[in-house]
Amino acid sequence: MMKLYYCPPAVSIAPLIAALELDLDITLEYVDLETKTTKSGDDLFTVSPKGLVPILELDNGEKLTETLVMLQYIAGLKPDAGLNAAVATPDYYRILEWMVYFASEIHKLFTLLFWEVDNGAKQEVARRILQKFDFIEAALAGRDYLVSNRYSIADPYLYAVIRGLHLIDVDMATYPRVTAFKERMESRPAVIQALERHSVN
């Protein structure tokens, strides 16, 4: 059985959603990111030398890090379910393109909000985050999901980064499509279950 090392503020909810969408067996291990210890008392760096979550431990004991890698792995366990597009198709690369964008352009900006920097720097980070969401808001025009209007592994990742918006001062009324996407995701049974399980306890 797979094990996901997670922390509620982190994007670890994305691979959990994907696993639940496919009805895969997965256990969870909470990680305290301040002390870098797991709920069972292990040093996080002994689980992964990166010292970050999420971490996905596979059935054979190997571990994967990086959210987009986990999402691709999980989707590949049941390819006929269609959470990822077939390799070498345009949609495959569109899905990958979105996930790389979330990882490199948005997720990393959110991490800066936890640094000890002055308010001016944090306001600049927030401005840049919202600039990225302006792009996402426009991209969601006329569609329920990101790629070819079909649900894919890119969507749980987007949902995870949207959840980070509570860290900054943002009027969600200015992002009606992003808001509708979040609500649409939260109506999915797998997301409802993930929100229940992805907690401190």
Both structure tokens of 164: 């980070």
Percent of the chain, pLDDT > 70? 98
Both structure tokens of 198: 């992805």
Q: Are 2 and 26 in contact (CB under 8 A)?
A: yes
**Phi, psi dihedral angles at 150 (to 5 degrees):** -120, 140
Of 99-103, 112-116, 152-156, which range is least confident?
112-116
Of 32-41, 110-119, 134-143, which range is least confident?
110-119
Query: Which CATH number is 2-81+189-197 given?
Result: 3.40.30.10
Mean pLDDT within 50-66: 97
The pLDDT of residue 189 is above 80: yes
Contacts of 58 (CB under 8 A, 6+ apart): 2, 64, 73
Residue whose tokens read 């002055």? 118
What is the per-residue pLDDT for 201? 61
What is the per-residue pLDDT for 199? 86
Domains 2-81+189-197 and 90-185 share a fold: no
Contacts of 89 (CB under 8 A, 6+ apart): none
* Domain 90-185, second-level architecture: Up-down Bundle (1.20)
Where are the chain's structural domains? Answer: 2-81+189-197, 90-185
| Amino acid identity, position 175 | Y
| Amino acid identity, position 144 | D
